[in-house]
Structure formats: C-alpha cells, structure tokens
Amino acid sequence: MNVRGINLELFEYDGAERRSWDTPPGAAGSFFLIFQTPDPDRVIARLYNENATVRPIEHPINGYEIGLPSGINLAIQHRPVQRLLGAVALSRYDFATAQHQLTSTLGFSQQEAITAFGATGYLFSSDQGLPVAVLHGSSPSPRPANSDLGGHHGAFHADDVDQTVNSFRTINGYTTLGEPETITDGPIAGDRWVYLNSPFGLQLEIINMPDGTLPYEKDAAALRTPIAIGAFS
C-alpha cells in the first residue's frame, strides 16, 4: 500500500500463535502514524466513523488523536506542510541507543522534535529514504512479534542483501534471524529479504525489491514509491 509516499505493508495472520496486544499508542513497543496537515478538521471529518475513537489535542500541537477500527492509530497534527510519518515508541534505554545507532550505523541525521500520543522524540532523516519519528514511549511493555496484531518493523532496501547482512553481523548488537531468502513464486517473486534484531528493540528487514521487476507491478493500478525513497512495514 502506498500512502502519501510511504510504502506500507499490511499483513493478515490467522495462525494459532497469533496474539493480540493492548499496548496503547505512545507506550514503548507501539507503532502509529503521524499525519501533519494544514487542515486537521477536514482530515478528521473524512476519517471519522462511529467505531473510531477521537480525542482533540491542543498542546503542544493542535489536532486530533484517533484510533481507527482497523487498529491503526493516527495523530493528526496542524502543520503548514502536509506529510505522513511512521512513528515508533521505544523505552528510555532503547531510545537513547536508537539515537546513537540511527545517526552512526544507519546514517540518519536528527531533525526537529516530535510529540504524539504523550511520547516525545525526534524525526530522523537521511539522504535516501523517508524520515521516521522515533519517540521515547511511556509504560514499557513487551514488543509484539511480526505475526501478532500490532506487530511492526522497519524495512531498508539494499542493493546487495547478503553483503549488507554480513556487514551488520560485524556490528555489536545486531542479530540476523536466519539467512537471506528469495521469494520464488507469487506477486512479489524475486524479493530477497532477511530479518534482523537491532540493539534498540526494533526489528529490521533488509530487502531487495527492484522497481518494475515484481510480477504484481505489470498490471497494478498503484505502485510502490521508488526504492530510493524508502518503506516502513
């Protein structure tokens, strides 16, 4: 799914091991979206339905915080420029580690302060890829697995997945979960990927999905944002 330039992968799991999580947005271990817009009222009018939970916010930024029936939580904030951001909330220790790892190992630069759902942190951006908000969340709780409701991870494109994984294996705190695999059938055949755990509590995925090479792209009406811009899952 391409939403305002962000590539979002939404998964449906029905296995017996799937768990539901009640971690509120803003608590450590949660993921949510931040939509900054000049007209929050217009956005909330389009999103609102009787099953949504909506809370007006006045400080520090005017807007709304909404929980959608889909389970996605969204902070709608008044800003002069419209943009959508992925946001993760980490514990105090993981947040400090993430600041260091994002700016050193992963090549991000720390930008403006961000506040949403009671969590505060910063926006991190790089020369390639979309910016991501990383916040210091409250009430630490166990992180959901990818197969759990509320599970999430960050995806980074690599020209060479195997070489990138070998580089991560030399860095303390990063652990690969198995070996890289290539999908050989289906709509994303040709995708090569592997998961790894990071030292700051967020699971990462290293992928290679060259634009225009996946089977689904031949007939799809909507395509991914080019890989040079990035993805979040």
Rg of the Cα atoms in the chain:
18
Residues 6+ apart with CB under 8 A from 48: 54, 66
pLDDT at 20: 63
pLDDT at 22: 66
pLDDT at 191: 92
In three-state secondary structure terms, 37 is strand
pLDDT at 230: 44
- pTM of the predicted model as reported, rounded to 2 decimal places: 0.83
Distance CA 51, CA 67 (A): 9
Q: What is the CATH number of domain 2-9+19-232?
A: 3.10.180.10
Mean pLDDT in order along the chain per 10 residues (233 residues) = 72 65 81 94 85 90 89 92 91 90 93 94 87 86 71 88 95 95 92 94 89 81 66 42
Q: Are 177 and 196 in contact (CB under 8 A)?
A: yes
Annotated domain spans of the chain: 2-9+19-232
Which secondary-structure segment (H or E) carries 195?
Answer: strand 192-197
pLDDT at 56: 95
pLDDT at 25: 87
Q: Which residue has the tokens 């949403």?
A: 116
pLDDT at 39: 96
